[in-house]
Amino acid sequence: MSLRDPRRRRRIEDVRCPTVKGLPDDIYHMLHHSYVDIVKMRKSIESLDVRIGASLKAVLESCDLLKRVRGEHF
């Protein structure tokens, strides 16, 4: 798989940052886990943005429906 293949698991070595070669294992693992956590947070935020957008759309549609119902004197 290539570096750009989305199915490939990302690792700290894939990030363009100062070299991690030669770092002690505990620091390397901490960096790797931090990177994974940041990616998870970003995906969570993106997912939340989609949900908020859908909720706002539902609110607007509900308001429009209420206006129409009130206009028809129900």
Q: What is the pLDDT of residue 2?
A: 47
Of 5, 18, 16, 9, nearest to 36 (Cα)? Answer: 9
Q: What is the pLDDT of residue 61?
A: 96
Amino acid at 7: R
Q: What is the pLDDT of residue 72?
A: 79
Q: What is the pLDDT of residue 26?
A: 87
Tokens at residue 55, please? 């909720």
Average pLDDT of adjacent 10-residue blocks, the chain of 74 residues: 53 61 82 88 95 96 93 74
Q: What is the pLDDT of residue 25?
A: 83
Residue ranges of domains in the chain: 12-71
Tokens at residue 51, please? 């949900």
